Structure 1
Amino acid sequence: MGLHTDFPDPSFLKAADGMWYAFATNGNGKRIQVASSKDFSSWTLLDIEALPTLSSWETDKDHYAPDVVLRDDGKYVMYYSGEAKSDVGHHCVGTAIADNPTGPYVPSDTPLSCRLDQGGSIDPAGFKDKDGARYVTFKVDGNSVGHGGNCNNGIEPLVSTPIMLQKVQADGVTPIGDAVQILDRSTADGDGPLVEAPSLVLRGGTYFLFYSTHCYTDDAYDVRWATATNIAGPYTKTNVELVKTGDGLISPGGATVCGCGDRMLFHGWCDDSKKIRCMYYADVNLSGRTATIV
């Protein structure tokens, strides 16, 4: 285990100071939580509010699934899910900039993606391709406008919950063209009501798109992956559970895999009470089109 405290949807990066920093959904009295580690196994929760100010479009609640990237100019860009004032209960992907990995992050005036007519945009994650081009993956939160049941999307007709790929300029926040769909939930693939929490990694010419299926409250919540030889796809699902309930894990998911391809953070319920989600770490091996836990 990495952190025995409420630290859901963890993402991470190795900063310019050589430290690992992890970021998580609101909890422990913070909008965006931050933890640090020297060795990736022993983590310390920091008493820091990474996002002390808000943009005009968002409310002061439900800040989900932050992800931070180091920009070429040395600044840090945070992508996060914030609740839209114009459609309470639904979210947009916001961006914020900082000089240091722990912040303070200053939010941009305009969100990167909203798609509120489709349920909103959540779970953003940054990616830098081999040619230096930058992208952001995110989920269209279709199950938030579903028809009830499991994660509000267990009753027919089931709503699409696509994973999208948005190219951005070198600043990490200005979109280039429109986002393209690279994955979606499928009953045939056993995804349950949704796919979410994308994390994109390039290894040896193969793009690995990690994602979670089912509802985060279910024991069936997991981490799977799909692969492609082109960043925009088509992505082929393996339908293999890289991480699943068992061996002390309860509903593990919301994973981020290192760009180096050898380590991962994810969350799972801390215990059977299913009240808070702890952070876990694992070593990963990517070979060909296969991902395994070491």
Structure 2
Amino acid sequence: MRSSLFPAPCIWVTFLLALLQVALGSPYLPKRAKGPWKGLNTDFPDPSFMKAADGKWYAFGTNGNGKRVQVAVSPDFSHWTLLDIDALPTLGSWETAKDHWAPDVVLRDDGKYAMTYSGESKSDTPHHCVGTAVADKPMGPYVPSNTPLSCRLDQGGSIDSAGFKDKDGSRYVVFKVDGNSVGHGGDCNNGNPPLVSTPIMLQKVKADGVTPIGDAVKILDRNTNDGDGPLVEAPSLLLHNGVYFLFYSTHCFTDSKYDVRWATASSITGPYHKSNVQLLKSGDYGGLISPGGATVCGCGDRMLFHAWCDNSMKQRCMYVADLVLSGTTASIA
């Protein structure tokens, strides 16, 4: 009979495994639940991101927390820290100081960082242009150009830009023509007929990431028959296994119907075929509220987006998600 002073071998094994789990972060520890998680519990709308030359991930958000362009950093894409930095401390001559929305940054081949963003036009307030700025470091300061990339003020303005580098090295910027800003009232100012077009445009640019080459082409537009509501916006483009994925949001960002969807094409200029599937919608994953404004990594496996932080709908928090692409389908891991 074994003495009660000496635990049985199985007890010792269990004890040692428990110590190893604590010390080493063993796979026996509980895993994070499936689905998105909150990366920043503060106002950080329209998040875009990129991996910088220093190996860290940087996210950029619409004006908030006293900053014109917000910046956050992460060593692993899971844990994020909001920096006390305004990435765009100065203005271009064409813009007011009021609105700076949906900034997007790409790392150029020359090692510099090129930003596009939406700013309010002095010549036609409250409509917007897509501005550009360049920096030597990912967190800035970004120096703005006095010449916007796109305005289209006669159509409502240009907003929601995002850069893309194709397989042959060619660079593009996708953006939305803000037609609902000159709509006829109702849902997001475009719910009453005649409804106005809100197309997603594709603009080829030079290697600097900001200088247009030729004219932009339309690659997507709202269609009530597709369940789009008054608009499509917030485009993000990537190429995965020969398929171009264009992610976008539909409906109004203040509406519970706001969501994230995708369309696919075999050519960068289209035609793009809408999946008409809601990748993210209100109520998903424990109660997301109006998720949208998503940006997807060119690697095709990760995404940032915003959703209202809580039911007060006063701030939009940044969420992080793992993405799975297969053929022409997308899903959240």
Structure 2 length normalisation: TM-score? 0.88
Q: Which residue of 2 aligns with 1:112?
A: 149
The RMSD of aligned alpha carbons is 0.4
Take 1:230 and 1:156, find their aligned partners in 2: how far apart are those partners?
33
How far apart are residue 258 of structure 1 and its match?
0.4
Give the secondary structure class of the aligned counterpart of 2:119. strand
Asked whether 1:279 is paired with 2:291, we answer no
Take 1:175 and 1:257, find their aligned partners in 2: how far apart are those partners?
23
Q: Where do 1:57-96 residues align within 5 Å?
A: 57-96=94-133
Take 2:278 and 2:287, find their aligned partners in 1: how far apart are those partners?
16
Asked whether 1:191 is paired with 2:215, we answer no
How far apart are residue 285 of structure 1 and its match?
0.6
- The C-alpha deviation readout for 1:151-199, integer Å capped at 9, x for no partner, is 0000011000000000001111111100000000001001000000000
Asked whether 1:173 is paired with 2:210, we answer yes
Take 1:174 and 1:254, find their aligned partners in 2: how far apart are those partners?
24
- The C-alpha deviation readout for 1:189-238, integer Å capped at 9, x for no partner, is 01000000000010000000000000000110000000000000000000
Give the secondary structure class of the aligned counterpart of 2:97. coil
Q: Where do 1:100-139 residues align within 5 Å?
A: 100-139=137-176
Structure 2 segments unaligned to the other structure (5+ residues):
1-37
Match for residue 58 of structure 2 among 10, 17, 21: 21
Q: Where do 1:263-274 residues align within 5 Å?
A: 263-274=302-313
Compare the two structures and name the one with the higher helix fraction: 2
Take 2:41 and 2:212, find their aligned partners in 1: how far apart are those partners?
37
Match for residue 87 of structure 2 among 50, 61, 67: 50
Asked whether 1:259 is paired with 2:298, we answer yes
Give the secondary structure class of the aligned counterpart of 1:8. coil
Give the secondary structure class of the aligned counterpart of 2:139. coil
> Kindly, what percent of the aligned residue pairs are identical?
80
Report the AA paired with residue 255 of structure 1: A
Take 1:149 and 1:207, find their aligned partners in 2: how far apart are those partners?
33
Structure 1 stretches of at least 4 aligned residues deviating more than 4 Å after TM superposition: none
Take 1:215 and 1:270, find their aligned partners in 2: how far apart are those partners?
17
Take 2:211 and 2:56, find their aligned partners in 1: how far apart are those partners?
28
Take 1:195 and 1:248, find their aligned partners in 2: how far apart are those partners?
23
Report the AA paired with residue 222 of structure 2: R
Report the AA paired with residue 287 of structure 1: S
Take 1:168 and 1:25, find their aligned partners in 2: how far apart are those partners?
23
Take 1:187 and 1:141, find their aligned partners in 2: how far apart are those partners?
17
Structure 1 length normalisation: TM-score? 1.00
Q: Which residue of 2 aligns with 1:293?
A: 332
Structure 1 segments unaligned to the other structure (5+ residues):
none
Give the secondary structure class of the aligned counterpart of 1:52. coil
How far apart are residue 248 of structure 1 and its match?
2.1
